[in-house]
């Protein structure tokens, strides 16, 4: 259904001497004259309202309509684009995408260079800061908190079974060690 066109053949036997004349009935002649009059009326401009005129003027112009259609061929009133135009459009879109991604990649490279430059500057600053501190004072090379260490050891020996009695001395020793560490980290 719909894939094939139905056609109707009409064979007319002409008994007249003149082969170019065909006789038709009065009803057929009446129908032909009515369809011709209707076609003539539709071609004459009718009085339209201004709104209708502006709406018609706003419609996009279409190509000329075909006078006849061949069997099986559909008519599409919009313009079609050729394969060359499609290819050109796709190439243009591809070119625009390449430009976009190239620009984006350049921006990312610039931002990464800025980040790397900042890291290098911070690293050099920290390195120069600690290079200045490499000169260690001789007083910091001796064992730290020796007297507190001796007190803790003596307390543990005296209180073998009650080690919690030495907790205050252990805390003092720990604070002393932490303080010496902090002094080593500071630059003089």
Q: Is the pLDDT of residue 71 over 80?
A: no
State pLDDT tens for residues 37-59: 887 777 765 544 444 444 444 44
Q: Which has the closest alpha carbon to 136: 177, 180, 176, 179?
A: 180
Tokens representing 40 are 């003539």
What is the maximum alpha-carbon separation in the chain? 154
- Chain CA centroid to CA 159, Å: 75
Cβ–Cβ under 8 Å, residues 71 and 7: yes
Q: Is the pLDDT of residue 109 over 80?
A: yes
pLDDT category, 84, cuts 50, 70, 90?
Answer: confident
Ramachandran angles phi, psi of 95, nearest 5°: -65, -45
80 to each of 62, 99, 109, how far by Cα in Å?
11, 29, 44
The mean of the pLDDT values for the chain is 76
State pLDDT tens for residues 120-137: 999 988 888 777 666 655
* Model pTM score: 0.31
State pLDDT tens for residues 140-155: 566 778 888 899 999 9
Distance CA(34)–CA(29), nearest Å, equals 9
Q: By percentage, how much of the chain surpasses pLDDT 90?
A: 30
> Minimum mean pLDDT among 68-77, 95-104, 138-147, 157-166: which range?
68-77
Q: Which has the closest alpha carbon to 172: 142, 147, 139, 154?
A: 147
């Amino acid at each position: 259904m719909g894939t094939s066109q139905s056609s109707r053949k009409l064979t007319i036997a002409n008994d007249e001497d003149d082969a170019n004349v065909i006789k038709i009935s009065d009803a057929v002649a009446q129908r032909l004259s009515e369809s011709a009059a209707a076609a003539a009326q539709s071609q004459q401009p009718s009085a339209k309202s201004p709104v209708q005129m502006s709406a018609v003027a706003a419609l996009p112009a279409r190509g000329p309509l075909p006078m006849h259609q061949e069997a099986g061929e559909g008519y599409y009133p919009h313009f079609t684009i050729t394969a060359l135009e499609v290819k050109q459009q796709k190439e243009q879109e591809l070119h625009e995408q390449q430009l976009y991604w190239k620009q984006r990649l350049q921006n990312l490279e610039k931002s990464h260079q800025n980040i790397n430059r900042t890291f290098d500057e911070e690293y050099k600053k920290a390195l120069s800061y600690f290079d200045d501190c490499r000169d260690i004072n001789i007083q910091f090379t001796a064992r730290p908190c020796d007297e507190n260490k001796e007190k803790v050891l003596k307390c543990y020996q005296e209180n073998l079974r009650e080690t919690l009695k030495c907790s205050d001395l252990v805390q003092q020793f720990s604070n002393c060690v932490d303080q010496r560490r902090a002094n080593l980290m500071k630059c003089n």
